[in-house]
Structures are given as structure tokens and as C-alpha cells.
Structure 1
């Protein structure tokens, strides 16, 4: 019995065919007039094909992936963005934030925007209340906005928003009532202060395909307790961040990987009847925290 040593090895031939296809797809972008778009598309193709070949994806797995993305598209609307949730739970959102907000001195670290930011939140004055009647324990929040040289940043716009004690944002409730969100401007010394609710943990929307994915891989949909901030001022890099409650059991397992140690703050609890910073009368317990913000320059 003789062997035909000229016949190609099956594994080598398979690899050749796969590599040949990859090269053809990459070359299809050669005439792209936009250099950055060409770079992005070719890199995407290389990494996508590397994933497919690495895990040896089956056609059935490919179909299930397409079905997953289709469901994500169907559930997405002008209030709910399932693809942002997907980006969040895969850590892609936080990686984007990390790459695009480079360390600069002691500038405050950035985190994810999340899917529940809304433009045109009502304005409050310094010391005002963002809750709009949302259920929860009152929380006094104060601090300053400064630059990396320590100079105050007056007139900075601060957007704040949070979930209520039921774990819901206002946009998740029926009706169009605005609760748990507002914007204000820093004073002449960069100071700010307002009433919010003490942050509580809540799940990301888990009744869609992203929730199903988390359940399938044994992950919780819960987010650690937090309060969102978005800070803008001329000449400074816009900061998207939030602060977390020290001692929260979910700090190590926040499902969108948003927790940074520098953003974990003490929320000091006060008993009913304890005097408040502005003399407001509160029937029950309340808390207090301080968050001093440092903005990086745009340059």
C-alpha cells in the first residue's frame, strides 16, 4: 500500500482556506476613502474571524447569536437601550471609559453613563432637592469642583440622577413625572450642595436578552448603590462618573464593572431629629456624603 505524499494535510488545507477568506475580506476595504474607517473595519474583521476560528463556532451557535441580537434590537426603543446594557455587562463600556479618560493628575475617575441619563433635567438652585418626591431616605450631598491645580471651577454644570428606593428610575415608571434627577451650577468657590436620596442597589433591566444572558452564565444583574454625576465646564474634559456607598455588599460584583475605589464614599447616617446642614426638618433618618470633584483640562 502506498501513500500519496503530495496530498495536502487536511488540517493545513483547512487553515489555508480560512486564512485565504480572511485576506479576501480584508482586501475588500482597500479602496475605503476614510483611513480611520478602513482601520476600524479591517481590525474588526481580523478580531471577529480570530474569535470564530478560536472557538470553532458552530452554525447553530451562530444562529443563536443572531437571534440574541435580533431580540436586543426589538426591545430597544427611545427609553430602553439593550445594546448599551450589553456593552455594560461585557465590560466594554468601562473599557471605553478607561481608554478615553486618560489619567491626569488627581482628576476624578470616570465611569459609565448608563442607560438612564435624560437631557433637559430641571434646574435646582444650590441646596435644592433633586428627588421630585421619589421614595427614599433623604441624603445631603455636598462638595466642590476644582481643577488639577486646586483652583475652584465656578459655574460648572452638574447633572445628577439616581434610582429611587424601589430600584427604579423615573423613566421606568408610568407617566412623565421627573424624579431623582436635576442639574445645578457650582457657586463662586466651586461649591455645590443638594438633597437627593441615599443610593440603594437595584438590578439593571433583566427582562430582556441581556438579562437572559446573565442568568445563563450565573451572573447577577445587580448594581452597587450609586449616584450619577455628569460635570461640564468650559476648558475642562466632561466628566461622567458616579459615587458608591462604602460598605455596600455589591461593590465587588457590580454587574457593569463601574466601581472604582476612589469613588467609594462614606454615607454618614443620622437618626431622626438630628439637625440637618440647612435646617430642613426631616421626620425620619437621613444621610450625608461629600464628593469633591477634580476636572482634567481638555488639552
Structure 2
């Protein structure tokens, strides 16, 4: 792969003669030198990525006429993002999310495929090795919140049930915190289960509530500086995998949540993923006979359709 000569221009006055034209020539010459430095990259895809990155980055710098102070501030910001990131908090994922980059990557890599369930952001709070539960058991692990019965089926785009699909689910408690945001090593509000022979699944969780993404770090400072809300619309995370199918990472959102009208801080809401969580009065019989005493609860249905892996 060879690097084409740079043809795009900078400021409009670069088309004239004089100092402006000389300045534009120097800027374009630098871009070309950087591109040429990657000319011997053995991996063609890596070379393509680096070439495009260089072009877009330099184009941005030239377009806004970035100052040295602004570039230094950007480096300090990214340094702070890295410094606050650890094995329990991923600030770079948050940054990707609030810039809409996560959703754009998801859209590019999960093209529309008939009736397949739409994907949305992964988020920073997934944890490997969640406990396994059986159909109808509870993922809450003692987390505070209103009980919610979630059920549905897993099928492919031809309508065929998918047995033994692995369904990872995780969510925040009623205070808006995931288990990993506490310091006591609790495991709550997360688990995985498998669909049965008919593709059906069911579990008890918590009725989702709105909550802010962590905003006590550099990403929060960015949101504050731009007068953006850190609040996410109420949601429940799913990751569904099955042989021969494209992995699905998605949420379901709560119909009627006022935050849907205000906006989701990470742009994750899709209309097809909004579900009604039907309020059940205390004393209403539960699907599995569970005794909830005098507590109210909700129920919802989420039928999942997986695209083929080669779609």
C-alpha cells in the first residue's frame, strides 16, 4: 500500500500566493512526511488505519487552528483519563461513550439484518466470571430495588429457537450504582443464564432506574464544561452469545422514563429497545409463585433475535 500525495488544502487563502500559501505548503508537506513514515508497515490494515488517523488528526488541527495551549490541555486531559482508569473503572470507555464513538463503532460493526435485535453500547461495568443462575432465579444478589420479572425467547432471524444461548445480564441498583462501584467486593445485579430447549429464558432482576455515569473525573469535567447531563436513561444490559450467531450487546430501556425525552448521556437509546415494565400491585401472583410480601413489582418481555455470524 502506498501513500497518495496530499491534495486537500487548508485555509481558503492557501490558494493565493504569499505567506499563506507557503504556510499551507509546509503543513501539507508535514502530513506527507508522516504518511511516508508508515509506508513500510507490513500489516496493510494497520497502515490504512494509521494513514486515515494522520489525515483526520492533522485536518482537525488545521481546521480549528489548534493552539499549543489547547494541545497541551488535551494531552493533560487524556493523561488524567488514563490515571483514573483501573481494573474497576474504565474512564476511556466513558470518554468513548460520551463522544458517541462507541455507538458509531457498534453501528459500523452491526449492520441492519432483518429483524435482528439492535445493538447498543457495552458500557464500562461488565465483569467477567459473573455467577450462573438457572431459569427463573434472581440476579439481584441483594441489591436494593423493585423486583422485576424479565422473560423472553432467543431466536435466529428465521424464527428458529436457539437453545443453550448464553445470556449475560447486569444492571445498577436503585441508587444508580453497579456492584463494582462499591468497595466491599460484592457481586450483585449481575449473572448469566442459558436459554432452554425452546429458546426461552426468565429471571428476576430489578426495575431499572436512571443514574449518572461516573462524573467525578475528567469525563465529568468535560460534560460540565459543555453543559451536558451525565444521566443515563433507565436500562438493563444484555450480552447474548450462541454458536453460529453474531454476538449481541444491547440494553432494554423503560417505556415512560422521563430521561428518554431529555437524552441519554452515551447515545445508547434505540426505539426498538424500549420496553414496557408493567407495574404489578402487591399481592399480585408472580409467574413462578415467588412470595414478595407487600412489595410491588414489574414484569417485562424481551424477545431476542440473533443475526447469523456471517451476516
Q: TM-score, normalised by structure 2?
A: 0.93
Alignment-derived partner of residue 43 in structure 1 = 52
Report deviation, 1:111.
Answer: 0.6
Unaligned runs of 5+ in 1: 1-6
Pairing 1:296–2:307 present: yes
For 2:24 and 2:183, how far apart are their aligned partners in 1?
Answer: 55
SS at match of 1:298: coil
Pairing 1:276–2:286 present: yes
Alignment-derived partner of residue 113 in structure 1 = 122
Q: Root-mean-square deviation (CA), in Å?
A: 0.9
For 1:167 and 1:81, how far apart are their aligned partners in 2?
Answer: 17
Report deviation, 1:229.
Answer: 0.3
Any idea what the Cα deviations from partners look like across 1:56-75, whole Å, max 9, x if unmatched?
00011111101100100110
| 1:104 alignment partner, one of 98, 103, 113 | 113
Pairing 1:142–2:151 present: yes
Any idea what the Cα deviations from partners look like across 1:71-91, whole Å, max 9, x if unmatched?
001100011111110000000
SS at match of 1:269: strand
For 2:91 and 2:185, how far apart are their aligned partners in 1?
Answer: 21
Unaligned runs of 5+ in 2: 1-15
Alignment-derived partner of residue 10 in structure 1 = 19
Any idea what the Cα deviations from partners look like across 1:215-270, whole Å, max 9, x if unmatched?
00000000000000000100100100010000111124100000000000000001
For 1:140 and 1:8, how far apart are their aligned partners in 2?
Answer: 71
Alignment-derived partner of residue 206 in structure 1 = 215
SS at match of 2:252: strand
Query: Between Structure 1 and Structure 2, how many residues are aligned?
Result: 293
For 1:74 and 1:151, how far apart are their aligned partners in 2?
Answer: 47
**More off after superposition, 152-161 vs 7-16:** 7-16
| 1:264 alignment partner, one of 274, 278, 283 | 274
For 1:273 and 1:254, how far apart are their aligned partners in 2?
Answer: 34
Q: TM-score, normalised by structure 1?
A: 0.97
Report deviation, 1:8.
Answer: 4.6
Deviant stretches of 4+, over 6 Å:
none
Report deviation, 1:201.
Answer: 0.5
For 1:196 and 1:158, how far apart are their aligned partners in 2?
Answer: 13
